Chains A and B, each alone.
Chain A
Amino acid sequence: MEIFNITAEDQVLDLLQWALSNSKRLAIAGNDSKVALGRPMDVDATLSLSGLSGIEMYEPAELVMKAKAGTLVTLVEEELAASGQQLAFTPPDYGPLLGQPAGLGTLGGVFVPNLSGSSRIKAGAARDHLLGVNGFTGRGEAFQTGSRVMKNVTGYDLCKLVAGSYGTLAICTSLTFKVLPKSEKIRTVLVYGVTLEASVAIMRDALSSVHEVSAAAYMPAVIATKTGIDYLEGDAPAVALKIEGPAPSVEYRCTALLKLFEGQGHVEELHGHRSRALWKYLSDVRPFSENLKSNIWKISIPPSNAPAYVKAISSALSGLEYFLDWAGGLVWVSVPEGIENAGNTIIRKNLKGSGHATLIRASEQLRKEIPPFQPQNPVIAKISERIREGYDPQRILNPERMYPIVEI
């Protein structure tokens, strides 16, 4: 299969014209770190944007950056760090989870699938930080949407449509996004030895407190041990609460949270270095990147449903491992290989209509047999297909990566 390595925007247009007039279907890629995510595609060529790289504009005092889609996330983070700033939604690196090296992820690769890490519950998702997009639709037309300012309600917010579209509507060449100050200090409050039910209650109370907890996760003992972080290797389940901000504020809030939860279990505090390592480890789903043979589900649910949900799927799927992020609203599940259809029916039926499950990692065969993305309500599926019809009438961009074509 041919791979076109794009190095300038106008080449995308030429390539689209060629694809359109010759009925060629294209896979849109960066560094291929997430090529194994989604439905397997039947394409004629790959359009790689990894060569379309570089920061086009960065104004720290305006909290805004514009960069080309193929720019490495690590490069952006380095540049931001030099000015004391960061991407607040803690973009995850799913490379290792999907059997690829770490550090290959591009900006397009986090914004276009709308991927956010542990801080999503406070800072918002990738989509909340995306301000503007330049690119080309599947009609071979250049477009720009959004802008560079924080507050903009001029016309439809097509940035939201791009974020989460997995390259099925348009090829993004540049992204403009909001950046925020990096916290002066970061700490993590740990509460050990708590049950699943108790953990969700602790996370609820932490997020309902005035202490501005920016991330909250629960690691069962087997996951806590895997982290390799001191203080977490005691073979006990643990709740982790992230606190960040100016030094005196973080100290004050940590003390308050330690006091609030000291009756619930043994409490401990992680300082900056270990905190950063832990939250990166969880955001990147590293607990499940060692054994690449298991199937991985990412499940978004109302946080208070998490205990009953996890109990139900655990009792039906033997050998299942899990951990909770987003205060219980995100359940990461590893289903051992050999379980029929990666437990699809059990994983999705137990949602009882609230939330959605995405099969993030599975063999190509399995991703053909069961839908990696949550099946949709027929009316929404039809509207989505009409949107695709509007922007990519020949279905040449990442065809059927998310959903098969439905009749409209």
Chain B
Amino acid sequence: MKMPLPDQSVLEKRDMLVRRLKEIVQNPNGVIDQEAGLRAFECDGLSAYRQLPMVAVLPETKQEICEILKFCKTEGVNVVPRGAGTSLSGGALPLADGVLLGLAKFSKIIEIDYENRCAVVQPGVTNLAITDAVKADGFYYAPDPSSQIACTIGGNVAENSGGVHCLKYGLTTNNVLGVEMITMDGDIIQFGGKHLDAEGYDLMGVVTGSEGLLGVITEVTVRLLKSPKHISAQLIGFPSSEQAGECVGKIIGAGIIPAGMEMMDYYAIHAAEEFCHAGYPLDVEALLIVELDGPEVEIEHNNQAIEKIAKECGATVIKLSQSEEERLTFWAGRKAAFPAIGRISPDYMCMDGTIPRNQLPKVLARMGELSEHYGLRVANVFHAGDGNLHPLILFDANIPGELEKCEEFGADILRLCVEVGGVLTGEHGVGVEKRDLMNEMFSEADLKQQQRLKCAFDPDGRLNPGKVFPILHRCAELSKMHVHNGALPFPDIPRF
């Protein structure tokens, strides 16, 4: 994985840049230029890739951000925005010649507005802190990425984060009402607010999931939902993953949209059960957790239907949670699946493709073949409802060549996802991790169309370069157009 070559002319003026940034940022500790301090920012959740930033700044006001961005633009310096640094795709990986712009100081909940069922928060507020702030009044914020205890809402918007409840409640993009952003020119702009839909182009929609390449998010208005009164979960075990996949399709086909529907394969079940004794059956090949929420009568009604479908699909184990405690135990295993895998292998890499659900048996079978080919084990956890697959490839980084082998295996899995009609990433983002695989999913022409959006926001390409796109074309090059010598075409089209 190659990053853009550092700009020597920028590195040469580092002392001046640091001095000027210290003039902009009021907090005497707000500019970090010593190696010890910079170590804290050298990587994000994708720790296989590390790079010290040239300098890190932690502004405390919007005005400071405006000034920093304007200054960097004038000086030709790249900027990498960072929230909590939990990205699993290297979205916040620093650049050797770049300013790391940390938003951690923006951690206030500005307003909770029950009249309009929304909250206005600064980008450094954690995902879970929003729910915690409104929980006592019976509300919550729906998207729940598994890093929700640490990840911040600014990062959630930048990555369009998901979670286990996406099928029913959507991703971040479906739960954000407004975004305030500062452009590379230092302009503060507001998209949306407490009202619905955009007045012109849906720029909030494209900024969501733009991985820090379009602007720096400074405020977010999120939709609050009333917490459901009742929640229940069923554990359903199957002798094969095909049967489990069929069951998922039939549940949805019956008109039931569960709040969450997770699948684990043999490896993942065993690792999780050993780790936290969730009561998972060990004699099944695939396990589903199906969670329903809503009024008790509805849950009962749908649970009965699900049980019937599960039996028809050959389920050998069906267990309905009898208490809130038991429901949480069912989930504890799934939620601990990653650390549990960490126990049985020195290292693991988590992949994140999405596939059409009916392709699951084919994808699992091919993954088994690949596993044999590479000589690396793979465990699967799967957001079954929406087709988002998280294969965990087990490897040992201490064995020379094994990391590279694991990366190749991962790339093969993602290629397979695209081949069956799916996508490279369902919720973790492209970042640097999947950057060089973008050509597997998009043609060069399609990637250029995406970069034209980038040119409208950040024509100099200063924000988070080296992420998402394998090659970032110059905007001047992208604006060229070749017009053919077009005569009036197709005499065969009916005209009036």
A residues adjacent to B (C-beta < 8 A): 2-7, 11, 14-15, 17-22, 59-64, 84, 114, 116, 120-121, 124-125, 127-128, 137, 139-145, 147-161, 163-165, 169, 180-182, 184, 204, 207-212, 245-249, 251-253, 300-304, 326, 329-330, 354-356, 358, 373-374, 376-377, 379-381, 383-384, 386-387, 389-391, 393, 402-403
Taken together as a complex, chains A and B put the C-alpha atoms of A301 and B358 apart, in Å, by 42
Residue in B200, B202, B356, B484 whose Cβ sees the most chain A Cβ within 10 Å: B200
Q: Does B253 contact A (CB under 8 A)?
A: yes
Taken together as a complex, chains A and B put the C-alpha atoms of A169 and B370 apart, in Å, by 42
Instruction: Decide if the interface of chain B is mainly helix, strand, loop or mixed.
Output: loop
Taken together as a complex, chains A and B put the C-alpha atoms of A395 and B429 apart, in Å, by 33
In the complex, which of the residues A5, A116, A181, A302 contacts B495, with contact meaning CB atoms closer than 8 Å? A5
Contact indicator A208/B114 (Cβ below 8 Å): yes
User: Closest CB of chain A to B299's CB: distance in Å?
Assistant: 9
In the complex, which of the residues A2, A151, A302, A304 contacts B496, with contact meaning CB atoms closer than 8 Å? A2
User: Closest CB of chain A to B462's CB: distance in Å?
Assistant: 15
Residue in A151, A329, A387, A391 whose Cβ sees the most chain B Cβ within 10 Å: A151
In the complex, which of the residues B195, B424, B430 contacts A300, with contact meaning CB atoms closer than 8 Å? B195
In the complex, which of the residues A156, A157, A160, A302 contacts B116, with contact meaning CB atoms closer than 8 Å? A302
Contact indicator B428/A184 (Cβ below 8 Å): no
A389 with B200: in contact, given A204-B115, A246-B301 (CB under 8 Å)? no
Contacting residues, chain B, for A5 (C-beta < 8 A): 493-496
The 9 closest A-B pairs by CB, nearest first: A160-B205, A249-B298, A390-B452, A14-B489, A181-B255, A356-B199, A302-B194, A386-B456, A17-B486
Residue in B139, B162, B252 whose Cβ sees the most chain A Cβ within 10 Å: B252
Instruction: Identify which of residues 451-496 in chain B touch chain A, using a CB-to-CB cut-off of 8 Å.
Output: 452-457, 459, 468, 478-479, 481, 483-490, 493-496
Residue in B190, B210, B255 whose Cβ sees the most chain A Cβ within 10 Å: B255
Contacting residues, chain B, for A156 (C-beta < 8 A): 206, 209-210, 450, 453-454
Taken together as a complex, chains A and B put the C-alpha atoms of A380 and B160 apart, in Å, by 21
Contacting residues, chain A, for B483 (C-beta < 8 A): 17, 20-21, 140
User: Closest CB of chain A to B348's CB: distance in Å?
Assistant: 21
A329 with B174: in contact, given A152-B423, A210-B228, A391-B452 (CB under 8 Å)? no
B residues adjacent to A (C-beta < 8 A): 113-117, 138-139, 159-160, 162, 166-167, 170-171, 173-174, 183, 185, 187, 189-191, 193-206, 208-210, 226-229, 249-250, 252-257, 294-295, 297-298, 300-302, 354-358, 383, 386-388, 421-430, 434, 438, 441-442, 445-447, 449-450, 452-457, 459, 468, 478-479, 481, 483-490, 493-496
Contact indicator B449/A158 (Cβ below 8 Å): yes
A21 with B484: in contact, given A373-B200, A383-B203 (CB under 8 Å)? yes
Sample of 26 A–B contacts (CB below 8 Å): A5-B494, A14-B489, A114-B198, A114-B202, A127-B202, A128-B174, A147-B421, A149-B421, A150-B386, A150-B387, A151-B386, A153-B162, A153-B171, A153-B426, A153-B427, A208-B117, A247-B301, A300-B196, A330-B196, A356-B197, A373-B200, A379-B183, A379-B185, A380-B189, A390-B455, A403-B200
User: Closest CB of chain B to A275's CB: distance in Å?
Assistant: 18
Contacting residues, chain B, for A114 (C-beta < 8 A): 197-198, 202
Contact indicator A124/B174 (Cβ below 8 Å): yes
The chain B residue with its CB closest to the CB of A326 is B196
Contacting residues, chain A, for B423 (C-beta < 8 A): 147, 149, 152, 154
Residue in A143, A145, A184, A390 whose Cβ sees the most chain B Cβ within 10 Å: A390
Contacting residues, chain A, for B424 (C-beta < 8 A): 154
User: Closest CB of chain B to A177's CB: distance in Å?
Assistant: 14
User: Closest CB of chain B to A292's CB: distance in Å?
Assistant: 25
Taken together as a complex, chains A and B put the C-alpha atoms of A192 and B39 apart, in Å, by 64
Contact indicator A390/B478 (Cβ below 8 Å): yes
User: Closest CB of chain A to B484's CB: distance in Å?
Assistant: 5
Kindly list 20 other residue pairs between chains A and B, CB separation below 8 angstroms, not including A4-B495, A390-B478: A3-B495, A18-B488, A21-B484, A21-B486, A62-B358, A147-B354, A149-B387, A153-B171, A155-B441, A161-B205, A161-B453, A164-B202, A245-B294, A248-B300, A300-B199, A354-B195, A356-B199, A374-B199, A376-B200, A390-B452
Contact indicator A380/B203 (Cβ below 8 Å): yes
User: Closest CB of chain B to A166's CB: distance in Å?
Assistant: 9
User: Closest CB of chain A to B491's CB: distance in Å?
Assistant: 11
Contact indicator A249/B489 (Cβ below 8 Å): no
Taken together as a complex, chains A and B put the C-alpha atoms of A300 and B383 apart, in Å, by 35
Contacting residues, chain A, for B478 (C-beta < 8 A): 390
Taken together as a complex, chains A and B put the C-alpha atoms of A15 and B493 apart, in Å, by 10
A157 with B425: in contact, given A204-B115, A358-B199 (CB under 8 Å)? no
User: Closest CB of chain A to B298's CB: distance in Å?
Assistant: 3
Contact indicator B453/A387 (Cβ below 8 Å): yes
User: Closest CB of chain B to A97's CB: distance in Å?
Assistant: 17
Contacting residues, chain A, for B189 (C-beta < 8 A): 377, 379-380, 383
Contact indicator B195/A301 (Cβ below 8 Å): yes
Contact indicator A402/B255 (Cβ below 8 Å): no
Contact indicator B438/A155 (Cβ below 8 Å): yes
Contact indicator B226/A208 (Cβ below 8 Å): yes
Contacting residues, chain B, for A208 (C-beta < 8 A): 114, 117, 138-139, 226
Taken together as a complex, chains A and B put the C-alpha atoms of A356 and B204 apart, in Å, by 15
Contact indicator A181/B256 (Cβ below 8 Å): yes
The chain A residue with its CB closest to the CB of B159 is A153
Contacting residues, chain A, for B428 (C-beta < 8 A): 153
Taken together as a complex, chains A and B put the C-alpha atoms of A11 and B491 apart, in Å, by 10
Contact indicator A160/B171 (Cβ below 8 Å): no
The chain B residue with its CB closest to the CB of A391 is B452
Residue in B442, B446, B456, B485 whose Cβ sees the most chain A Cβ within 10 Å: B456
Contacting residues, chain B, for A403 (C-beta < 8 A): 200
The chain B residue with its CB closest to the CB of A17 is B486
Taken together as a complex, chains A and B put the C-alpha atoms of A139 and B486 apart, in Å, by 13
